[in-house]
Structure 1
Amino acid sequence: MTGDATPLDRRVNLTSVPPRGYTTIVITNVDQPITEVRDIHNGSIPVTTQTVREQNASLTATTLNETHARVQLTDARTGQPLSNRAVWLSGAAQGRVTTNANGTVVVERRDLYVTASFTGATNVSENVYYGPAQTRVAFQLEPFNIYQLLTSLAGALVSVAAFLVFFVPFAYMRRGTG
């Protein structure tokens, strides 16, 4: 074995590249402005800052029927709806929904409980950050219905009887003529 490194293919490029994705980081309770952020390689990351006030968001859920619930996202202080905001769902048909102009969405359940979560968002035009909120709605268990069970069993018995009365004689006659 040699101590030399294996040469890289000429198509391999090990130079740095600009990031392909950007994200917003919310830093709260800072005594002085943040002027610089560095990555894990001590490279400088461009920073823009904005001072915002934090307000609580309110997330409420109400059942509409056995399969659907309405989830509403509002400003907890003013009661104004928060429209066009992402709400994450657990136990529902969809994993993520966006609120309408009234701050509401209608969701279909997949489980007995549906949990809706708002992770927080900044309203840049009003210099407001809405903090995270979560709610859970429970659907009623369907009670055992003995009448429905008996009706299903009676229907099955009628089907078997109809098969015996109508199909078996014709099958027997057909077998005898062949």
Structure 2
Amino acid sequence: MRRGVVRTMSVATLAVVGLGLRAGAQPSGTPSSSSTHSSPPSSTHSSTSTPAGRPRHVGVRPSPTPTVAPRLPAGSPTPSAPKKPTPSATAAAVGFQGELVDTQYGPVRVRITVQHGRIKRAQAIEHPQGDGTTDEINAYAVPVLDREVVAAQSAHIDAVSGATFTSDGYRQSLQSALDAAHRAGAL
């Protein structure tokens, strides 16, 4: 007998919780049973009708569990979500690394950062270095090349006087980074 009482109470509890979840999943704009009302909670579970004709259970408040969206029949169109900005308007910056190009004075590798279909930054992440003269030349030439890429938005940049080998390696590595950006659809 005790098992029958527990089972009956469980079914009643599930019915009450199910009605509470069902009411919580109503579209906005229609009255919900989860709306607050001024009458104090009552231990008696009586039903009244809402303007929409659905029963409203006085004194029963659904638990603060997340609501479940109603299931749509197969083949029905899904409700449209709020309009979001286009991906190009909110696109994160993406980096593309060029190939390592060996020059007479050492390797050159360029990395570009693309955002909104434009080159936002170019940077020689590897360039010839090691002796005083090469370091001095590239300390001047590499920042100039980096700025020219952003201004030109392409690999059509002038060589820096005195840094011809670095400039040529830079353009080759830059072109491979641009090709990768084009393949990815970023440019």
Instruction: Name the TM-score class by shorter chain.
Output: under 0.3
Relative to the length of structure 1, the TM-score reads 0.24
Q: Which has the higher helix share?
A: 2
Q: Which has the higher strand share?
A: 1
Structure number with greater Rg is: 2
Relative to the length of structure 2, the TM-score reads 0.23
